[in-house]
Chains A and B, each alone.
Chain A
């Protein structure tokens, strides 16, 4: 019988081996971003945690303002402010245990500081005296990552390695909405899901990648929806609601620690400042849009909640602000001291063992510096 003769008998049927690998329904994000503050859920939230979040968010806001001021004084080469996004930054840090790892992007100085990093060391990259101003192993914070999304596979590899060694360590990796378009984002999510690695991906969707709005970045219903395609749960959260971000991330971290694999969390937030101090945001967005977010400010949301529930009064607010002010004053003072630099450091740590070429070049620079010093003495 030829194929032509079979035609009448032909009925399309699914390919024999096909079956869904995972039920997509439980992986899908909720239709609305998860919120806690201002809802009934807030009554159940731990008062101490709310207070801690408040204090950190206020400190974070002050830190952003101080760092921005330092760029104006030429003390920082550049500062990508996370003003408006403090709830995400703080929650990402607080949700982790000491043994866990944070993989921040270049905008996430605040998360690193909230995790306990010295504020000055956290600014080394942006001041320009070295690339990474801290030992990543000390606080378990990977270097602030500038090439977008490239830290995500690192987080997956580290979490995977920890599990291979039998450690219940979780890695939390941060990325912007723009970064989700990079191939590295895709590859990291895919590896994480296939390996069931204990990783949490936190996307801070702040509306723009420099000038490019989200609708030119993706056609997906939400960035959280991207999770389903990899076979991991996607969660959507109000990124300005510190309690909500904390809760969603805590769930995801617990899930990962218990062997449940990765989660993709999309936090809906907004970048209140320009991309960096070098950017002109008026070219691509209007004030009305920025203003619309002022009522939904992360500091304001917490302050309202705590005050209405009688957990915070004027005096409490003042105490938190004073504390933040002290941090800022200390930061200002220490950043106003010129860092002591040794140009010979250029040749240190390029390799574990210096090459002969580098030894020659170091000698050349040494001679130049000596000649310079001689000239200055004369």
Chain B
């Protein structure tokens, strides 16, 4: 038996490796977007793909998000599997018409005759000191659009596994790449691809018994830290990493909350009309009789994403999570 020493890869490298392996395995997989070729993308996720597969399969497009998504629709109609990069969260918005009216609805409009096996990569979220329009958490817009799958990994292994699954899916998948975690590492061997992670399964990152933190993407490490810190207060927190927002894993989440009786949803996008509202409602509907307290939300403020010098006040951190956990000692009538 040969053992290969594990070499830590970054999340950005794992995404890139998933793209590469998918392209090698299936000639119909095409990557397109702004600066994805020669430059390898502004985050270097597509580094080396143009060299290895040629610029017909990894294509620098003109600078136009609606054009990128719209042409990808046509490519998919003709049997290709396009993977498109939206350079930053807020720069995907010019492409929303194509995404919402066509990518998401094509299967339904054609009674299943015309699937859209298309992957949309969106680097998202804050905490990197980016100026205006470089830190939006746009997951609620995607989640609110029927026809789209929405996934967002928090670990290097899931970055690989979910990207492979997204590309393999016969439906459009929005892969929200938490750019704050692009350079994070865990021990994972890039020489040996990890399993493809089926879309739609949440995972318990840390088992616990006194309350459940439900979170995803960039907030997962923050919740893990909060769970550690909570031990000092006598709280044993379970942390669930959703990984997939659509479809939503009611089973894993429900099982956890029924056991712990308390839950806090944590994400950095705004709370009002945000993902946490949907999640809290689902948990309440399914676990009402098991709940010892209302399901709470810890989210970013309901403001346009702030300038970098103030973003730390906006992003939910450990203290804000612990405050919410303390409020879970809720008594009827209080």
Using a CB–CB distance below 8 Å, which chain A residues touch chain B?
Answer: 77-78, 125-131, 146-148, 150, 178-179, 181-184, 209-212, 216-218, 279, 283-284, 339, 341, 343, 345-347, 350, 355, 357-358, 361, 365, 368-369
Contact = CB atoms under 8 A, between A and B. Distances in A.
Interface string B89-129: 01101100000000000000000000000000000000001
B64 A182 contact: yes
A210 B42 contact: yes
A52 B35 CA distance: 38
Given A181-B64, A182-B94, A209-B34, 5 more contacts: A77-B131, A146-B132, A182-B65, A210-B42, A217-B63
Nearest to B65: A182
B193 to A, nearest CB: 26
B16 to A, nearest CB: 15
Contact of B310 (A126, A182, A341, A358): A341
Nearest to A341: B309
Interface of B: 34-35, 37-40, 42, 60, 62-67, 90-91, 93-94, 129-134, 272, 301-304, 306-310, 313-314, 319-320
A343 B310 contact: yes
Given A78-B131, A212-B60, A283-B39, A358 B303 contact: yes
B186 to A, nearest CB: 25
A183 to B, nearest CB: 5
B63 A179 contact: yes
Given A77-B131, A128-B307, A283-B39, A183 B313 contact: no
Contacts of A77: 129-131, 308
A209 B309 contact: no
Nearest to B308: A128
A218 B94 CA distance: 19
A210 B63 CA distance: 10
Nearest to A133: B307
18 contacts: A126-B131, A128-B309, A129-B310, A131-B307, A146-B134, A147-B133, A181-B64, A181-B67, A182-B63, A183-B67, A183-B94, A211-B60, A212-B35, A217-B62, A279-B42, A346-B314, A350-B302, A357-B272
A97 B39 CA distance: 41
A357 B131 contact: no
A129 B307 contact: yes
B131 A283 contact: no
Contact of B313 (A148, A212, A279, A346): A346
Nearest to A278: B42
A350 B309 CA distance: 17
Nearest to A148: B63
Contact of B309 (A148, A178, A339): A339
A279 B309 CA distance: 22
Nearest to A179: B63
Contacts of B132: 125, 131, 146
A184 B94 contact: yes
Q: Which of A129, A211, A357 has the most B CB atoms < 10 Å from its CB?
A: A211
Contacts of A284: 38-39
Contacts of A341: 309-310
A128 to B, nearest CB: 4
A342 to B, nearest CB: 9
Contact of A212 (B34, B91, B272, B303): B34
A355 B93 CA distance: 26
Contacts of A78: 131
A153 B64 CA distance: 16
Interface pairs A-B: 10 shortest CB-CB: A211-B39, A128-B308, A181-B62, A178-B63, A343-B313, A181-B63, A181-B64, A146-B133, A128-B309, A131-B132
Contact of A346 (B91, B94, B303): B303
Nearest to B91: A147
Contacts of B40: 283
A346 B130 contact: no
A178 B62 CA distance: 7
A148 B63 CA distance: 9
Nearest to A361: B301
A346 B310 contact: yes
Q: From A128, A181, A350, name the one whose CB has the most chain B CB atoms within 10 angstroms.
A: A128
Contacts of A178: 62-63
Contacts of B64: 181-183
Contacts of B62: 178, 181, 212, 216-218
A211 B129 CA distance: 22
A176 to B, nearest CB: 9
A125 B131 contact: yes
A206 B74 CA distance: 31
A91 B27 CA distance: 50
A203 B67 CA distance: 20
Contacts of A148: 63, 91
Contacts of A216: 60, 62
